[in-house]
Amino acid sequence: MLLNRWRRWRRSRPFWGGLLAVLAGAEICALPLAPLKVMLQQGVAGIPSVLMGAVMIALGLTAWFAPAQRGLAGVLTTLVATAALVLSNLGGFLIGTLLGILGGGLMFAWQPHAAPSAPPRPTPTDATDPTDTAGTADATPAPLHD
């Protein structure tokens, strides 16, 4: 029962794109959050890395918890991942950038799965009643005269 709920939740949103975006953000954040000795040597260069990684994590979570915003989240994830290539240690040594671009593409391309529709059942108004004479009148319009 719990497994079915998990599957239903996962399939109702761009789960894999969001997961890749979160992993990309974590990868980009991980390098500047090294031990303090390494971080002090980096200086202010580590700030964009942490910010971009946090934004990518937030965009991945947005795709999970607000699937209606998946298009914007996908485009922004791809843009931030591409910017991280230049501004953040080659985008987490290319791993973060590649994961971010792939995750953003998956988020943008995801479409909600439409439930299969059952054939329409006749309603009481659709049923024909042989004793009903109101609907049997000639429905052709009268001819128009000049």
Which structure tokens are listed for 91? 């985008």
Count of other CB atoms within 10 angstroms of residue 119 = 4
Cβ contacts of residue 95 below 8 Å, gap of 6+?
24, 27
Q: Which pTM value belongs to this model?
A: 0.71
Count of other CB atoms within 10 angstroms of residue 58 = 15
What pLDDT tens digit does each residue of the chain (146 aa) get? Answer: 888 998 888 888 999 999 999 999 999 888 777 676 666 666 666 788 889 999 999 999 999 999 999 999 999 999 999 998 888 877 778 899 999 999 999 999 999 876 666 677 776 665 555 565 555 555 566 667 75
Domain extent listing, the chain: 14-109
